[in-house]
Amino acid sequence: MGDFVRAKDWSETPLGPLFGWPQSLRSAISICLGSRFPIVIYWGAEFVVLYNDAYAQILGSKHPQALGKRCRDVWAEIWDVIEPMLQSVVATGQATWSDNQLLVLKRHGFPEECYFSFSFSPVRSEDDRVGGVFTAVIEHTQRIVGERRLVALRDLGSRSMEAKTAEEACVIAAKTLCEHAKDIPFALLYLINGNEQLARLAGAAGVALDDAISPLVLRFSPGTADGQPWPLIEVVHSDAMQVVEDLACRFGNAVPPGPWSDPPRQAVVLPIRSNISRELAGILVAGVSARLELDELYRSFYELVASQIATAIANASAHEAEHKRAEALAEIDRAKTAFFSNVSHEFRTPLTLMLGPLEDALASSALPSGERDRLTVAHRNSLRLLKLVNTLLDFSRIEAGRVQAVYEPTDLAAATAEFASMFRSAVEKAGLSLVVDCPPLPEPAFIDRQMWEQIVLNLLSNALKFTFQGEIEVRLRFTAGHFELSVRDTGTGISAQELPKVFERFHRVAGAHGRTHDGTGIGLALVQELVKLHGGSVSVESEHGRGSLFKVALPMGCSHLPAEQMGAKRTLPSTALGAPHFVEEALGWLPEAGQVDERGIEHIAARQSQNAAPAERAHILLADDNADMRDYVRRLLASRYEVEVVADGEAALSAIARRKPDLVLSDIMMPRLDGMELVSRLRADPQTNTLPIILLSARAGEESRVEGMQAGADDYLIKPFSARELLARVEAHVKIARLRRDAEQALRDEQERWELAAHVGRFGQWHLDLVTRAVDLSASCKAIFGLPPEEQASAERLFSLIHADDREAVAIRLTEAVETRTAYEVEYRVVWPDGSLHWINSRGSATYAPDGTALQMVGVTLDITERKRGEEHLRMLVAELDHRVKNVLATVSAVMSRTQEAAGSVADFVAAPDGRIQSMATTHQLLSSHLG
Ligand code: ADP
């Protein structure tokens, strides 16, 4: 800049030529030019402009013409602001200070929003007057605009969290943008509906709705590009920001002015991305401030605004979806409650009509005892059904808020002890002791007596159901303003992970070991609801295998209860069945005295049937945890079959181990070991894998049937079943089992005969799998190889038994036979494991797959050791004879030649050898007989 100042012809300026400048100006200029801080000097009455390199940046396009010009000409657009300041410095000799001062400069061809901090300081001239003004300037435009944008983004982020729907998110975002008009003079937020290929205006800032610039709907279906105010299609397709120039030309006066006197000239259109890839949630149209340059920083600010809005929309949509899901669930829940309520109601009528006549019939003294037994079972089970239905009804009434408790001051200790002691007989019959510890309490409790009865009885019956030894304790105390009931048992307990769920309705602990599998999982949920109606709470502590402790706490007094229900009349008839029914149901879980042994096995002496001889009576094992069901099915079957009855899967397994039945009839839901598990255990055991099993289940539906059959059951009967159906199925399966058994026996007999024949004929059968090389030998074949019958010999083992000298020949012959599809026959020696040598003849023939692969070879093996020994003997004999005949012939020929030499006449020649030959014949005879 120094060169620049020196090179300029100053004679044309109000300062005159350089050499005439006063020292004060020279000094000021030298400081200015030597500084890297933006500094400008306004000198003389005309405030002639002199500046350094750093200040040239602030001048923008005004540099270099500004040098030496009058300030009023250089800064015409702000002269009205700075002139008074300059004049005051000259007049008073006092410096001014301006901090973050907004000055709208036209340094880049348009009025620009700029911020500066500066100080005008006097520079004294030689005559001690103010000769000029020295100005140090800092520009803050970027910092101030940047901070402002950060605030806008922060506001967008924080406020939009409140939105519950996408539309609401747009409205909140638009409202926030309204407060940041200097950066976003106007904004339009459109939400895209991809199905309809359009975008709907969901929020607007700084602009009226449904104007030329802000139509309510924008379309982006093909062919709609023309006539659209904003380039929606381009944004959707490019998924990138588009800049729209010259708004005045597009929209005329409709362009909103924003915070400045001149309206925006440009706008940007940006995609608002959704959380589904390649789908847009919406479009943001935003005006570009007329006082700011659309530079990189401004563009990325818009991108950030769009992504903040996208996050807000995504959050709101997720919230909306969640809300809808919760609503739908609540609706289903309401529907379920209504359904239970209706269904339970509908059940009650037919049940009442069943119970009435049954009770009438049972009241008659003329009833034969067999009939009475049958009707008693029907009555007991109808009551059980009624209890289930009532529990459901009570529960749905409570859920629907339709139940009205009637609270009365009650001696809680007496009432609790009374309800508990009704269970005494059942508890003691189960071999447990019942401890009732309910000392008198200092004051009465406000309770609904029937509800309290339900609470106590439900907890007690659960305790009995899940306790097999030890005791059940019912305890009542008054502590810290509360009545506390505890029902403690020494039963099977509840595992830690199940504990939090036991009060949920319909929750049952899978595989829980109880006296029965009967139950709906509603008892504890009902207890909890009933306790809540008393303003109390219920809790449980339990340890698996050690027992459980259920605690109910009720607040004292009645201030927590609705006054209008204090001693009021009931508006709904009570459905509670009371203690006798609970007790009766519990008694049904206990084995009948004398009928069940200590292992839970009930054995009913078979009654002779007229049409079946005792030897033919099939033996059926029935497993069911419900005593009435056991009784009923046993009664149905007893006339034709010998029936053994057990209460669960474990007992069934032990009964089967003692005596294998002809057929198993098993319930599915049973404590300890259920029917499915029983089936798989029986199928896994070779002793019982063909035992016919029929499953009985109350779980109707095709899947349950398929599940049962897949587990390996032979049949599946759904409760309720008719007596005829049960009998027919049992009979069919017993028959099939008999036929199967007979067939298996026949096969075994056949096998035995074959084995016998093989043994006698000393041949054995073998089978070689040519793919896996597995061998299967009959017992007689193993014997031929000197192997014990139980040994599972492998091909390698057999090969190792072949005499080392014969192995190769055997292998070659086998390969040859397979390859040439000829019969395999070979004789070889084997060395038995005891070291003795045996001869074997093996023959076989291969079978092939259609593609020519050799599959297997089946054959027989003969022990030919005897024959081989005979052959060897013969061979030795022949050799011996041959040897001896040759010897004899040699001797004879020697004798003859000697005789010939010695004989004088023919007669001599004839007579002489006779004696010799005679003696030789005698010798030979002797030898032969010896060899014989
Ligand atoms: P239900 O008895 O009809 O199955 P509940 O709601 O009364 O239904 O009980 C839910 C589950 O809690 C039972 O299935 C059982 O597994 C468990 N439970 C309840 N009481 C006891 C108890 N005293 N001991 C062990 N388990 C229990």
Indicate which atom in ligand 1 lies nearest the CA of residue 493.
25
pLDDT of residue 236: 85
Per-residue confidence band for 599, with pLDDT thresholds at 50, 70 and 90? very low
Answer yes or no: are the C-beta atoms of 590 and 426 closer than 8 Å: yes
Q: Which residues pair with 841 in a beta bridge?
A: 827, 862
End-to-end Cα distance, the chain: 146
Answer yes or no: are the C-beta atoms of 715 and 650 closer than 8 Å: no
Q: How far is CA 268 from CA 31, 264, 300, 767, in A?
A: 46, 11, 12, 86
Pocket test for ligand 1, best of 427, 462, 465, 474 (most atoms within 8 A of CB): 462
Up-side HSE of residue 395: CA atoms within 13 Å toward CB? 28
How confident is the model over 116-139, as pLDDT tens digits?
A: 999 999 999 988 899 999 999 999
Indicate which atom in ligand 1 lies nearest the CA of residue 503.
6
Distance 521 CA to ligand 1 centre (A): 7
| CA gap 508, 521 in Å, rounded | 5
Ligand 1 touching residue 495 (CB < 6 A): no
| CA gap 297, 146 in Å, rounded | 8
| pLDDT over 70 percentage in the chain | 92
Q: How far is CA 385 from CA 539, 546, 582, 585, 743, in A?
A: 28, 32, 12, 10, 46
| CA gap 861, 222 in Å, rounded | 86
455 C-beta neighbours (distance < 10 Å), count: 27
pLDDT of residue 926: 66
798 closest CA partner among 812, 787, 790: 787
- State how beta strands 130-139 and 112-124 pair: antiparallel
Per-residue confidence band for 570, with pLDDT thresholds at 50, 70 and 90? low
pLDDT of residue 574: 53
Answer yes or no: are the C-beta atoms of 894 and 886 closer than 8 Å: no
Distance 513 CA to ligand 1 centre (A): 10
| CA gap 87, 263 in Å, rounded | 34
Q: Whose CA is nearest to atom 1 of ligand 1?
A: 521
871 C-beta neighbours (distance < 10 Å), count: 12
Q: Whose CA is nearest to atom 4 of ligand 1?
A: 521
pLDDT of residue 538: 96
With 50 as the cut, is the pLDDT of residue 198 above it? yes
Q: Whose CA is nearest to atom 19 of ligand 1?
A: 462
pLDDT of residue 857: 92
Pocket test for ligand 1, best of 508, 515, 517 (most atoms within 8 A of CB): 508
What is the pTM (predicted TM-score) of this model?
Answer: 0.46
Distance 488 CA to ligand 1 centre (A): 13
Ligand 1 touching residue 523 (CB < 6 A): yes
| CA gap 114, 101 in Å, rounded | 8
Q: Whose CA is nearest to atom 3 of ligand 1?
A: 519
pLDDT of residue 370: 81
With 60 as the cut, is the pLDDT of residue 276 above it? yes
With 60 as the cut, is the pLDDT of residue 611 above it? no
Per-residue confidence band for 613, with pLDDT thresholds at 50, 70 and 90? very low
pLDDT of residue 605: 37
- And the tokens for 216? 């309510």
Ligand 1 touching residue 548 (CB < 6 A): yes
For residue 343, give the amino acid letter.
V
For residue 679, give the amino acid letter.
V
Ligand 1 touching residue 588 (CB < 6 A): no
pLDDT greater at residue 765 or residue 170: 170
Pocket test for ligand 1, best of 494, 550, 589 (most atoms within 8 A of CB): 494
Q: Residue holding tokens 């001696």?
A: 411
Q: Which residues pair with 863 in a beta bridge?
A: 840
pLDDT of residue 264: 93
How confident is the model over 626-649, as pLDDT tens digits?
A: 888 888 888 889 888 999 999 899
Positive or negative: CA dihedral 236, 237, 243, 244: negative
Q: What is the mean pLDDT of residues 471-497?
A: 93
Q: What is the mean pLDDT of residues 399-416?
A: 85
| CA gap 745, 277 in Å, rounded | 69
* Cα 539 off chain centre by: 29
pLDDT of residue 595: 45
Answer yes or no: are the C-beta atoms of 525 and 505 closer than 8 Å: yes
| CA gap 690, 686 in Å, rounded | 8
Q: What is the mean pLDDT of residues 754-780?
A: 84
| CA gap 729, 713 in Å, rounded | 13
| CA gap 306, 314 in Å, rounded | 12
Distance 413 CA to ligand 1 centre (A): 25
User: Average pLDDT of the chain?
Assistant: 86
Ligand 1 touching residue 463 (CB < 6 A): yes
Distance 502 CA to ligand 1 centre (A): 7
| CA gap 715, 733 in Å, rounded | 9
Per-residue confidence band for 610, with pLDDT thresholds at 50, 70 and 90? very low
pLDDT of residue 118: 94
pLDDT of residue 84: 95
Distance 227 CA to ligand 1 centre (A): 71
| CA gap 827, 825 in Å, rounded | 7
Per-residue confidence band for 583, with pLDDT thresholds at 50, 70 and 90? confident
852 closest CA partner among 816, 819, 826: 819
| CA gap 503, 585 in Å, rounded | 22
Q: Which of 517-521, 565-569, 800-804 has the highest mean pLDDT?
A: 800-804
Exposure class string for 727-766: b at 16+ Cβ within 10 A, else e: eebbeebbeebeeeeeeeeeeeeeeeeebeebeeeebbbb
Indicate which atom in ligand 1 lies nearest the CA of residue 507.
10
Q: What 3-state class would DSSP assign to 274?
A: coil
pLDDT of residue 606: 36
215 C-beta neighbours (distance < 10 Å), count: 18
How confident is the model over 208-246, as pLDDT tens digits?
A: 888 888 999 988 777 666 677 898 888 888 889 999 999
Distance 459 CA to ligand 1 centre (A): 9
Q: Which residues pair with 815 in a beta bridge?
A: none
Ligand 1 touching residue 522 (CB < 6 A): yes
With 80 as the cut, is the pLDDT of residue 833 above it? yes
Q: Residue holding tokens 């100005």?
A: 135
For residue 319, give the amino acid letter.
H
With 80 as the cut, is the pLDDT of residue 38 above it? yes
With 50 as the cut, is the pLDDT of residue 717 above it? yes
* 100-109, 493-502, 506-515, 665-674: segment of lowest average pLDDT: 506-515
Distance 509 CA to ligand 1 centre (A): 7
Q: Whose CA is nearest to atom 11 of ligand 1?
A: 508
Q: What is the mean pLDDT of residues 478-483?
A: 90
Pocket test for ligand 1, best of 389, 501, 524, 549 (most atoms within 8 A of CB): 524
382 C-beta neighbours (distance < 10 Å), count: 17
pLDDT greater at residue 334 or residue 420: 420
| CA gap 33, 304 in Å, rounded | 41
Distance 698 CA to ligand 1 centre (A): 20
Q: What 3-state class would DSSP assign to 200?
A: strand
pLDDT of residue 275: 78
Ligand 1 touching residue 491 (CB < 6 A): yes
Any long-range contacts for 834-842 (C-beta under 8 Å, 24+ apart)?
A: 834/786, 836/786, 837/803, 838/784, 838/786, 838/863, 838/865, 839/863, 839/864, 839/865, 839/867, 839/868, 840/784, 840/785, 840/864, 842/766, 842/810
Q: What 3-state class would DSSP assign to 583?
A: helix
Ligand 1 touching residue 489 (CB < 6 A): yes
Per-residue confidence band for 602, with pLDDT thresholds at 50, 70 and 90? very low
pLDDT greater at residue 1 or residue 86: 86
Q: Which residues pair with 50 in a beta bridge?
A: 41
| CA gap 926, 235 in Å, rounded | 129
With 80 as the cut, is the pLDDT of residue 342 above it? no
- And the tokens for 243? 């800049």
Per-residue confidence band for 699, with pLDDT thresholds at 50, 70 and 90? low
pLDDT of residue 123: 93
With 90 as the cut, is the pLDDT of residue 411 above it? yes
